[in-house]
Amino acid sequence: MGCPLRFVGRAQALKLGWIVPEGPEIRLAADGLARAIAGRVARRVEFAFEHLRPFEPILAGEEVLRVDTRGKALLIVFANGLTIYSHNQLYGVWKTARAGVRPATRRTLRLTIENEERAALLYSASEIDVLEWANLDAHPYLATLGPDALDPATTAGAVTERLADRRFANRSLASLLLDQSFLAGIGNYLRAEICFVAGVRAERRPKDLSDVERRRVAEAALAVSRQSYATRGITNDLALATQLASDGLARSRRRFHVFARAGEPCWRCETPVQRTTLAGRRLYWCTGCQR
Ligand SMILES: [Zn+2]
């Protein structure tokens, strides 16, 4: 699965410093889509990909029950049991608009779901599929996903146990926290922020952490992800972020503890934030706060 990205490669985009959507951003996109199409009959469903067009007449006239996420995958569930799966990778973008209206954009429209009032439009994404709801777990990406960090059913106790599991305990946190089969929905900015909040360096392996540290990593993994979803991307201490906002600091400069803050003083201990590359991605951390 997975077509190559159309415009520039992942490596190039990462070099440009783009922040790739992670679980919280995908869930927020799903919420926006749900407001436009959930609980309503889709009058029109259109795919840009030839092999999916046979599903158009099968989905048109069906009610959209809900819009779910699993990790970074988005699932649009129809009343007839069919589900549209999409994974945005770097470039996919969802937009909503009034029915019949198409936003001005140079992007390629890949999927349209339209009811009497609103349209949900997916641009640029290349990973789109139609699956049977009952068989979702057979999908090659969904089948590999670990528990979802944003799922209320995922507990810190379960994540702590997972850290001690020998499948994961020997790998660095830097690599583990990007692995969707360990915990789904975490990406690069969350990885740095979670390690900071837990007070541990990302090079460390779960098996070398104390019980208390493993528990702190598990709690931070869930708490930081959930705060980011609840605040639309603020992972910094909320009281501090509010104070910094009233001081006039731009959102991009106050939203994180350490991510993308290389050379700037740690909010807690004033040590300059370090930048390095771990598991192929940029990582930020504080030598004063992380052991
Ligand atoms: Zn610090």
pLDDT tens sequence across 19-50: 778 999 999 999 999 999 999 999 999 999 99
The Å distance, Cα 270 to ligand 1 centre, comes to 6
Please, are residues 164 and 212 in contact by the beta-carbon 8 Å criterion? no
pLDDT at 80: 97
Does the reported pTM lie above 0.75? yes
| Span 136-159, pLDDT tens digits | 999 999 999 999 999 999 999 999
> Any idea which residues carry the catalytic annotation?
21-22, 72, 281
Rounded to whole angstroms, the Cα distance separating 123 from 112 reads 9
Domain boundaries, the chain: 10-144, 156-285
The Å distance, Cα 199 to ligand 1 centre, comes to 9
CATH architecture of 10-144: Alpha-Beta Barrel (3.20)
The Å distance, Cα 81 to ligand 1 centre, comes to 50
Give Rg (Cα) of the chain: 20
The Å distance, Cα 271 to ligand 1 centre, comes to 6
pLDDT at 48: 97
Mean pLDDT of the region 74-83: 97
Q: Which CATH number fits domain 156-285: 3.30.1360.120, 1.10.8.50, 3.40.50.620, 1.10.4190.10?
A: 1.10.8.50
Residue 146's Cα: distance from chain center in Å?
Answer: 14
Q: Which residue has the higher pLDDT, 1 or 222?
A: 222
pLDDT at 6: 39
The Å distance, Cα 192 to ligand 1 centre, comes to 13
Rounded to whole angstroms, the Cα distance separating 167 from 147 reads 15
- Phi and psi at residue 56, in whole multiples of 5°? -55, -55
pLDDT at 213: 98
| Span 47-61, pLDDT tens digits | 999 999 999 999 999
pLDDT at 160: 98
CB-based burial label for 199 (10 Å; 0-12, 13-18, 19+):
middle
CA distances from 219 to 39, 187, 193, 223 (A): 34, 16, 12, 6
